[in-house]
Structure 1
Amino acid sequence: MATPITSGSLLTALRREGCTVVEVGDWRRHNRNHRGPWGPVNGVMIHHTVTSGSRRTVELCRDGYPGLPGPLCHGVITKDGRVHLVGHGRANHAGLGDDDVLRAVIAERRTPPPNERNTDGNTRFYGFECENLGDGRDPWPEVQLDAIARAAAAVCRHHGWNEWSVIGHLEWTHYKIDPAGFTMDAMRGRVGKLLR
């Protein structure tokens, strides 16, 4: 368990890891902290957006929509490989998930299949939304996959975590399928390589 990274340290960590970062509006103070705690944090969660078009995707993830206010993540990773920071603090990205999965993330080992929704993931995880339709056919450009791995590695490196601290939304709850189009084992392989 760890204290959440400061906004300045997050920016520095991402840039040191080789990410191209775009700061969106007042991202450092844009959060849902009034709805509950953020932290202690235990890992990084990867999502797909079910959207196309970078500008629309970033706006949606920053502002949210009726019934689910933004920010919907901490960073949006667009197809061009840029990491758009849209929030810092509690974000509406993870929702409820399985406490057994959280225990595995804390222990930095393979997660079991999720079968419960009894734990608030918005408290425990950094979230990166990745621009993709999520239909298994929309391509994932190499520059985007590299940026996802680098963003996750930046957070893990800051906290001293390994690649098992990075999970997909589908590994947190059986109600989700994201990210679709690549495997989280392959992504963790990329993260582990960067960390080593």
Structure 2
Amino acid sequence: MGDPATPAQWRAALKAEGCPFTEMAGWTTRGRDAATGKTFGPVNGILNHHTAGSNSLATIATVGRPGLPPPLAHAYLPKSGVLVLVADGRANHAGLAAENVFNAIVAERPLPKQDKSSTIDGNDRLYGLEVENLGNAKDVYTRAQYDSWVRFNAALCRLHDWGAGSVAGHLETSVEGKPDPSGPVAGYGKRGPFPFTMAQFRVDVAERLAHAASWNPPTAQETTPMSPAFVNLGLIHGYQLASGEWTEIEFTQEWTDEAGDHAANSAVFVAGAARYNGTLSLRFEHLPEGDVVQVRQSEYDGTTLKADHPIDEVVGTPGGTFRVVPLTNRLGPGRTMRIRLLNQSSEQIEVASAVLKALVWKES
């Protein structure tokens, strides 16, 4: 139990909790105390609602509904997640509340099923929040909206030294069969889409209250599905491969290089951080039958060789030698990958063709 929050307390509590908010003109003096002759408070909890409509600020604050004059809540929470402070006095939001449920809220006990035989006027004793949602079981509460929703309730609980047991939904107190709040939620923290329930909501409020008001719920690491880029490189002219020397292939013709990692007249065909999967098609002339050319992928940091990967061997065949070498690897940040050849034949041979085709996935 406590006195209703003053405007200064509202502002300080919401700001500390990280709940974004704006103030509707006149909110600090808006309420139904004078019209009803009843003073709002003392307060014992927070009652949560959905609007069953969209763009409902005017309805909640100044228009009302047939037979129900405004204000209809103390605050309004749209899809944007930026709360609007609407009223500081008594508001028409709760109606008749089952007394057994109200007593459980005061005591912060599990809420029982409503006993309709005894009621109180919930407008006297409960803060009210209207959250924008059509209430059709299809309209989704946004992540920003749900996050602010949790923060709003936690802010008032923290202000009054309440626990999450002081948080309730209209469907839990109403003796008229109100169904709100309900609906799907886009997600919260590390959680993906889930259906709104007051039980889960109280768990989320309790989690906030277990931390400092400045706490933010941990979120899953954002991962953007990576679409591979296609690299297709080749040689304009063949070149000679001397015996017994490691020689880098310089890809001098670029049909496409969508990854943007290959410079013309360069041996570098991909730069990290990345992973790739593709093939290197090689054709040699004058490689004696049975002689070998070794092919290996080599990692560099600048011009410094850092790692050699396992060797593939191309064995000479009659009438020219053709071989497709698979390329699959992962490259760390700041590294580049090159293709090197070692002619183990005593003869000088010609690299007549080298075509590299690969899908490259850039990594952060």
Q: TM-score per shorter chain, which class?
A: over 0.9
Determine the C-alpha separation between the residues in 2 that align with 1:88 and 1:186. Answer: 28
What SS is found at the alignment partner of 1:148? Answer: helix
Q: Superposition pairs for residues 80-159 of structure 1, below 5 Å?
A: 80-116=80-116, 118-159=119-160
Which sections of structure 2, spanning at least 5 residues, go unmatched? Answer: 184-195, 211-364
- Provide, for residues 65-111 of structure 1, a one-character-per-residue CA deviation record: whole Å limited to 9, x for no partner: 33211110000011110110110110000011111011101111111
2:277 is aligned to: none
- Normalising by structure 2, report the TM-score: 0.52
2:206 is aligned to: 192
Aligned AA (1:2): G
Aligned AA (1:47): H
Q: Provide the aligned C-alpha RMSD in A.
A: 1.0
Q: Superposition pairs for residues 8-27 of structure 1, below 5 Å?
A: 8-27=8-27
Runs of 4+ in structure 1 off by over 4 angstroms are: none
Q: Report the more deviating stretch, 43-52 or 65-74.
A: 65-74
Determine the C-alpha separation between the residues in 1 that align with 2:30 and 2:6. Answer: 13
- Provide, for residues 4-58 of structure 1, a one-character-per-residue CA deviation record: whole Å limited to 9, x for no partner: 11111011101111111110010000000121221111000100001123xxx11
1:172 is aligned to: 173
Greater helix share, 1 or 2?
A: 1
Match of 1:46 among 37, 48, 69: 48
Determine the C-alpha separation between the residues in 1 that align with 2:33 and 2:150. Answer: 27
Determine the C-alpha separation between the residues in 1 that align with 2:11 and 2:72. Answer: 18
1:62 is aligned to: 61
Asked if the contact 2:99/2:115 (under 8 Å) is kept, the reply is: no
Determine the C-alpha separation between the residues in 2 that align with 1:31 and 1:40. Answer: 15
Higher normalized contact order (CA 8 Å, seq sep 6+, divided by chain length): 1
Determine the C-alpha separation between the residues in 1 that align with 2:126 and 2:65. Answer: 21
* Higher-Rg member (1/2): 2
Identity of aligned residues (%): 43
Determine the C-alpha separation between the residues in 2 that align with 1:11 and 1:65. Answer: 28
Asked if the contact 1:115/1:173 (under 8 Å) is kept, the reply is: no
What SS is found at the alignment partner of 1:138? Answer: coil
Aligned AA (1:90): R
What SS is found at the alignment partner of 1:69? Answer: coil
What SS is found at the alignment partner of 1:65? Answer: coil
- Normalising by structure 1, report the TM-score: 0.95
Aligned AA (2:205): V
Greater strand share, 1 or 2?
A: 2
Aligned AA (1:40): P
Aligned AA (2:58): E
Aligned AA (1:176): K
1:31 is aligned to: 31
- Provide, for residues 118-169 of structure 1, a one-character-per-residue CA deviation record: whole Å limited to 9, x for no partner: 2000011001000000111111111111111100000000000000100000
What SS is found at the alignment partner of 1:22? Answer: strand
Determine the C-alpha separation between the residues in 2 that align with 1:191 and 1:180. Answer: 17
2:269 is aligned to: none
Aligned AA (2:88): H
